[in-house]
């Protein structure tokens, strides 16, 4: 979702703007800001292993750190809270891939796996008036009232999943909670909301995992992109032919006063965003919260004693263990000094939410500690900031609070079935969670 704010000349970023490459910078003088190329680039581990330790290394390296993406594509990661907050709302930081220099000068290899994040049609890659138009059409129908009305259905789906958990137990009594609870709840909610048939859900999840994951080959990611856009195109056509009381039908019908509507490509891009963001992030949020509460049961007892709420659990999880680690991409539209570093125009920038969430400058010397009673002066950035603030934040909060309270009420002795240190990471440097979450329902 892009900023919708003017660039330095007071005009929106032009949709057809193209860059030939960053302007050369003079050699640095004493006291001048650093440049990303003046320090060794950090190679992001595609499997997301050792997230907290890797984030700490990046944060120590600076607020804006050179990194290497798959395919040896250079980028920068924005790792500290204050600078990330500035970047997320900066009027000279764009989202449209026309500003991604390496995508147009041959530097990015053909079939690059992360191309989708840069080029998908929709709010996440639009700027200025285009972004305001797209976001306006979506917010017409994805309203706070519609989200609030979902609560009874979220409660019902949660109860049904909890009823079924004992039946998913393996021979040793363990339940894979990520697969059988944290995933089907948000996926079920977003698919019902969009009018997507239940039979498509598992395949859509598999495809989104390939797209969000950063370990797949270019061919695998391209195939997943083709298939998921094809499936969502069919969903859209079905709703055009037979509109229902669902968000897809409402998006098709939505129009501005001048009659403008979402194009077919924009509709599919919007559905893609809502399917992926609408379940992957909440899946990680629920998983990370359960993991944190089981690892430090004193925090769980604070909630049970009424000294903290489930809302507090969700907000502290979002800060301490953000569901998104490094979200691509933003681009400075001119050489821009950020956090003491000059970032050349057109450089892809990652919003490093998991690193910023544990920034001691924002959250104090105990920023690494999970504390549901924390009342930080700085609000976490896990749902973004500024014009791109996540439209789905209220729904994610609703699902997570309902899920966590119901889970620990139904199974008060629930605990991890393996030591926390043995949980494998989710295979992505974009998503931040564990790959599985084996638990015992009765402790």
Going by pLDDT thresholds of 50, 70 and 90, the confidence category of residue 51 is confident
Cis? peptide before 329, omega within 30° of 0: yes
Question: Which token pair is 313?
Answer: 């659990």
Question: Which token pair is 374?
Answer: 């924390």
pLDDT in the model for residue 13: 32
Query: Who's near 152: CB < 8 A, 6+ residues apart?
Result: none
Higher pLDDT, 34 or 119: 119
If you average pLDDT over residues 345-356, what whole number do you get?
97
Whether residue 21 has pLDDT greater than 80? no
Higher pLDDT, 70 or 6: 70
Whether residue 31 has pLDDT greater than 70? no
List pLDDT tens digits, range 265-306: 899 999 999 999 889 999 999 999 999 999 999 999 999 999
pLDDT in the model for residue 164: 97
CB 2 within 8 A of CB 95: yes
Going by pLDDT thresholds of 50, 70 and 90, the confidence category of residue 36 is low
Going by pLDDT thresholds of 50, 70 and 90, the confidence category of residue 254 is confident
Whether residue 193 has pLDDT greater than 80? yes
List pLDDT tens digits, range 361-400: 999 999 999 999 999 989 999 999 999 999 999 999 999 9
pLDDT in the model for residue 1: 32
List pLDDT tens digits, range 400-421: 999 999 999 999 999 999 999 9
Question: What is the sign of the dihedral through the CA atoms of 375, 362, 65 and 387?
Answer: positive
Going by pLDDT thresholds of 50, 70 and 90, the confidence category of residue 257 is low
How long a stretch of residues is the chain? Answer: 443
pLDDT in the model for residue 111: 82
Question: Which token pair is 311?
Answer: 């809302």
List pLDDT tens digits, range 204-238: 999 998 888 877 788 888 899 899 999 999 999 99
Q: What percent of the chain has pLDDT over 70?
A: 89
Question: What is the sign of the dihedral through the CA atoms of 427, 222, 269 and 381?
Answer: positive
Task: Give the pairing of strands 64-69 and 326-332.
Answer: unpaired
Tell me which residue of 420, 422, 414, 411 sits closest to 440, measured CA to CA. 414
pLDDT in the model for residue 43: 87
- One-letter-per-residue 3-state SS of the chain: CCCCCCCCCCCCCCCCCCCCCCCCCCCCCCCCCECHHHCCCEECCCCCCCHHHHHHHHHHHCCEEEEEECCCEEEEEECCHHHHHHHHCCCCEECCHHHCHHHHCCCCCCCCCCHHHHHCCCHHHCCHHHHHHHHHHHHHHCCHHHHHCCHHHHHHHHHHHHHHHHHHCCCCCCEEHHHHHHCHHHHHHHHHHHCCCHHHHHHHHHHHHHHHCCCCCHHHHHHHHHHHHHHHHHHHHHHHHCCCCCHHHHHHHCCCCCCCCCCHHHHHHHHHHHHHHHHHHHHHHHHHHHHHHHHCHHHHHHHHCCCCCHHHHHHHHHHHCCCECEEEEEEECCCEEECCEEECCCCCEEEEHHHHCCCHHHHCCCCCCCCCCCCCCCCCCCCCCHHHCCCCHHHHHHHHHHHHHHHHHHCCCCEECCCHHHCCECCCCCECCECCCEEECCC
pLDDT in the model for residue 360: 97
pLDDT in the model for residue 11: 29
pLDDT in the model for residue 116: 85
pLDDT in the model for residue 228: 93
pLDDT in the model for residue 256: 60
pLDDT in the model for residue 382: 97
Q: Which residue has the tokens 């490094």?
A: 326
Task: Give the pairing of strands 73-78 and 349-352.
Answer: parallel
């Amino acid at each position: 979702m892009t900023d919708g704010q003017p660039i330095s000349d007071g005009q929106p970023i032009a949709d057809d703007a193209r860059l030939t490459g960053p302007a050369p910078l003079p050699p640095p003088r004493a006291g001048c800001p650093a440049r990303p190329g003046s320090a060794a680039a950090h190679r992001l581990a595609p499997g997301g292993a050792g997230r907290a330790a890797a984030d700490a290394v990046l944060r120590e390296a600076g607020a804006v750190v050179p990194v290497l993406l798959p395919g040896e594509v250079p980028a920068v990661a924005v790792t500290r809270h204050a600078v990330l907050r500035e970047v997320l709302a900066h009027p000279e930081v764009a989202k449209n891939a026309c500003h991604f220099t390496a995508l147009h000068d041959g530097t990015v290899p053909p079939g690059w796996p992360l191309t989708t994040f840069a080029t998908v049609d929709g709010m996440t890659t639009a700027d200025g008036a285009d972004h305001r138009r797209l976001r306006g059409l979506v917010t017409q129908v994805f309203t706070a009232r519609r989200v609030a009305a979902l609560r009874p259905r979220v409660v019902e789906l949660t109860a049904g999943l909890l009823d079924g958990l004992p039946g998913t137990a393996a021979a040793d009594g363990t339940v894979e909670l990520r697969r059988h609870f944290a995933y089907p709840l948000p996926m079920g909610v977003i698919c019902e909301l969009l009018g997507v048939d239940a039979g498509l859900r598992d395949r859509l999840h598999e495809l989104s995992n390939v797209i969000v994951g950063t370990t797949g080959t270019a061919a695998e990611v391209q195939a997943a992109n083709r298939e998921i856009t094809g499936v969502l195109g069919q969903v859209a056509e079905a709703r055009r032919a037979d509109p229902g009381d669902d968000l897809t039908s409402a998006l098709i019908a939505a129009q501005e006063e001048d009659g403008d509507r979402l194009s077919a490509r924009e509709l599919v891009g919007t559905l893609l965003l809502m399917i992926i963001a609408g379940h992957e992030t909440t899946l990680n949020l629920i998983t990370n919260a359960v993991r944190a509460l089981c690892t430090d049961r004193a925090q769980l007892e604070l909630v049970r004693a009424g000294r903290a709420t489930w809302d507090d659990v969700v907000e502290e999880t979002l800060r301490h263990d953000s569901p998104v680690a490094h979200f691509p991409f933003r681009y400075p539209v001119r050489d821009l000094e950020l956090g003491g570093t000059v970032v050349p125009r057109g450089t892809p920038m990652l919003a490093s939410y998991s690193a910023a969430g544990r920034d001691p400058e924002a959250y104090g010397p105990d920023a690494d500690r999970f504390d549901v009673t924390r009342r930080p002066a700085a609000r976490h950035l896990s749902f973004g900031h500024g014009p791109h603030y996540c439209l789905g934040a209220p729904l994610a909060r609703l699902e997570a609070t309902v899920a966590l309270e119901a889970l620990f009420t139904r199974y008060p002795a629930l605990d991890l079935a393996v030591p926390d240190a043995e949980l494998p990471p989710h295979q992505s440097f974009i998503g931040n969670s564990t790959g599985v979450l084996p638990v015992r329902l009765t402790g």
